[in-house]
């Protein structure tokens, strides 16, 4: 058990809004307590607090430089933000979202956890996905004790492969339990490191993912965008489909059968950032209308 609490500062030159970013439907295991956000990154428990032009990182690790390096990658702090703004700001709808939701950032997460998260996300709300992932972690993951705090690491493919489908259903997975077990068994038996997909072209990486049980185009694109550096990926769910049909007449007329091709031609190489902001825009507008 680690019992030494540390506090370090993660500096950033471009805005990061923790609330927007960590509740945007990319990540599911952050717990908010007032202005603090507690999460598990690998085997590390970290608590983050927004300090304006920096983030305070409270952790139980002695190697604070390693934690900061991990978080720099996690929040993609080395992305060319000015270039992203200039490229996407040419579209009026995305430009409005960029202005309204300043600090919303694309995340680079662990591919294995992201894969299972979005398999779980089928026909589920963000709250339900969070519940299922926390249940998987508590029941099958390794317990991490840090001082008086305790969370569980996300279970490895080997740990989930050993679980029965009945046990997986007990945490709320429903029909997705079969897919999770089959995927975990395949990854464990093959000893595959999903990071290899990062080096493949987008089309090849997506085709490989869609060869796994229960993974369609939308889930594959989420995994590619949120964990494997394929920022040209453009996940399409009911929210994004509604945006494209209502706001982009050219898409409706010509491109509905090849959404990704349209998105890359229209938004450019940062199509995934455009999707993130459009998703936030339409989802927030819908909440406001229904409140």
Catalytic residues: 218
Nearest CA among 135, 94, 130 for reference residue 274: 94
In a shared domain, residues 223 and 115:
yes
Q: What was the pLDDT predicted at 1?
A: 44
Nearest partner of 132 among 108, 109, 148, 116, judged by Cα: 116
- Tell whether 74 and 115 lie within a shared domain: no
Q: Kindly state whether residue 205 falls inside one of the protein's structural domains.
A: yes
pTM reported for the whole predicted model: 0.93
Strand partners, 116: none
Pair of tokens at residue 180 = 């999770």
Contact call for residues 120 and 229 (beta carbons, < 8 A) = no
Q: Domain with 157 in it: what CATH number?
A: 1.10.340.30
For 19-54, how does the pLDDT look when each residue is reduced to its tens digit (9 = 90+)?
999 999 999 999 999 999 999 998 888 999 998 889
CA-CA-CA-CA torsion for 69, 74, 76, 78, nearest 10 degrees?
10
Give the range of the structural domain holding residue 171, as residue numbers without chain letter: 111-227
Residue 104 lies in a domain: no
When divided into structural domains, the chain yields a total of 2
So what's the pLDDT on residue 253?
Answer: 63
pLDDT digits 0-9 by tens, 231-266: 999 999 988 988 998 898 877 666 556 888 899 999
Long-range contacts of 82-88 (CB under 8 A, 24+ apart): 84/270, 84/273, 87/267, 87/268, 87/269, 87/270, 88/267, 88/268, 88/270, 88/273, 88/274, 88/277
pLDDT of residue 60: 75
Looking at the DSSP bridge assignments, the partners of residue 49 are 36, 56
In terms of domains, do 56 and 123 share one?
Answer: no
**What pLDDT does residue 249 have?**
83
Angle value at C-alpha 208, between 205 and 209, nearest 5 degrees = 90
CA distance 233 to 236: 10
Which CATH number does the domain housing residue 45 bear?
3.30.310.40
- Pair (55, 147) in one structural domain: no
């Amino acid at each position: 058990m680690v019992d030494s609490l540390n506090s370090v500062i993660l500096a950033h030159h471009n805005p990061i809004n923790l609330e927007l970013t960590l509740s945007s439907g990319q990540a599911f295991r952050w717990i908010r307590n007032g202005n603090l956000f507690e999460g598990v990154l690998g085997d590390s428990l970290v608590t983050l607090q927004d300090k304006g032009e920096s983030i305070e990182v409270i952790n139980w690790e002695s190697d604070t430089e390693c934690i900061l390096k991990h978080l720099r990658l996690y929040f993609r702090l080395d992305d060319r933000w000015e270039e992203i703004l200039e490229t996407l700001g040419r579209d009026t709808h995305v430009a409005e979202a960029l202005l309204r939701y300043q600090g919303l950032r694309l995340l680079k997460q662990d591919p294995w956890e992201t894969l299972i998260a979005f398999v779980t996300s089928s026909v589920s709300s963000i709250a339900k996905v969070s519940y299922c992932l926390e249940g998987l972690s508590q029941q099958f993951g390794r317990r991490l004790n840090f001082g008086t705090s305790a969370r569980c690491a996300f279970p490895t493919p080997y740990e989930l492969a050993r679980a029965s489908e009945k046990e997986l259903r007990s945490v709320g997975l429903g029909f997705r339990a079969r897919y999770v077990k089959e995927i975990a068994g395949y990854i464990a038996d093959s000893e595959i490191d999903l990071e290899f997909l990062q080096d493949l072209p987008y089309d090849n990486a997506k085709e490989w993912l869609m060869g796994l049980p229960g993974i369609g185009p939308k889930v594959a694109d989420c995994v590619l965008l949120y964990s494997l550096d394929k920022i040209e990926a453009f996940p399409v769910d009911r929210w994004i489909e509604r945006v494209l049909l209502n706001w982009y007449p050219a898409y409706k007329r010509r491109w509905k059968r090849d959404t990704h091709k349209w998105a890359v031609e229209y938004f450019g190489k940062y199509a995934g950032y455009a999707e993130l902001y459009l998703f936030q825009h339409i989802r927030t507008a819908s909440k406001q209308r229904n409140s």
